[in-house]
Homo-oligomer: A and B are copies of this chain.
Amino acid sequence: MRSVLAIGAHPDDVELGCGATLLAHAAAGDTVTMLVMTGGESGPGDPEHVTGRRLEQEAAARALGARLVWGGMYDCMLTADAATVALIEGVLEETAADVVYVHAPDDSHQDHRAIASAAQGAARRLSRVLHYQSPSTLSFTPTVYVDVTAHLTGKLHALGAHASQVELSAMVEPDAVVASARHWGAQARIGYAEAFAPTRMVLDLAPAPRRRAEDLPAVHRLVPTARLAG
């Protein structure tokens, strides 16, 4: 059983990027946590929608069977600085995450770029860091896919919880969500897929615990005879 952490800059980013994959994780018995860095204060709609967006995000998390953690930062003001890295490190530690999903680094939204970089920093010792595509992502060359044929309806339901966004934003278009899933599915030679570009992804071929270099059997460890000395 894995612990999965999905990170997004704003409400609905995680659902758009990897919502169906999170449902697949939940179906496989994994624990899923969503970290949403901001409340979406600068998104479309009038001020009442700000509170609304938080309620929508909570409904969407429930629809995905995920625990929701708020980052408490401000929309359009995110940077990849030490504070942001530390915040993500805290959630990584608390969830003992095995795998992280986060924005792709090359994105036209400054918040998305910042969170992608900060997550790469916070997860620097983690073996599974996967980047998803947002509507504002620029270059994106996926090599890894998840079959979401069984979970696309669920993803659309979770996205539907973000009613204010879907109605108001020009960037969230449900038919484009379905089309991209089918496009990537054709690339992956399956039905519908979500696509990912890994920073690094260690495959699970068998349910074996990972070991660090110092735990290796001595017989094939590298032995530089030169001792380190000041």
A residues with a Cβ closer than 8 A to B are 21, 24-25, 27-30, 42, 56, 59, 76-77, 80-82, 85, 108-110, 113, 117-118, 120-121, 123-127, 135-136, 138-139, 141, 143-147, 149-150, 152-153, 156-157, 159-161, 163, 166, 170-171, 173-176, 178-183, 185-193, 197-206, 208, 210-213, 215-230
- Please list the 8 inter-chain residue pairs (A to B) with the smallest Cβ-Cβ separation, ordered nearest first: A160-B228, A179-B182, A28-B206, A183-B183, A108-B120, A76-B82, A176-B186, A179-B179
Quick check: B213 and A176 within 8 Å, CB to CB?
Answer: yes
A sample of 27 cross-chain residue pairs with beta-carbon separation below 8 angstroms, ordered by A number, consists of A56-B230, A59-B230, A76-B81, A110-B118, A124-B171, A127-B190, A138-B199, A143-B144, A143-B197, A143-B200, A144-B144, A149-B216, A157-B226, A175-B223, A175-B224, A176-B182, A179-B183, A182-B213, A187-B200, A191-B210, A191-B211, A191-B212, A191-B216, A218-B225, A219-B226, A223-B223, A223-B225
A188 touches B202 (CB 8 A): yes
The listed residue with most B CB atoms (<10 A of its CB), out of A188, A203, A204, is A203
- Across-interface contacts of A77 in B (CB, < 8 A): 81-82
Whether A121 contacts B146 by the Cβ 8 Å rule is no
Looking at the complex, which one of B139, B144, B181, B182 makes contact with A201 (CB distance below 8 Å)? B144
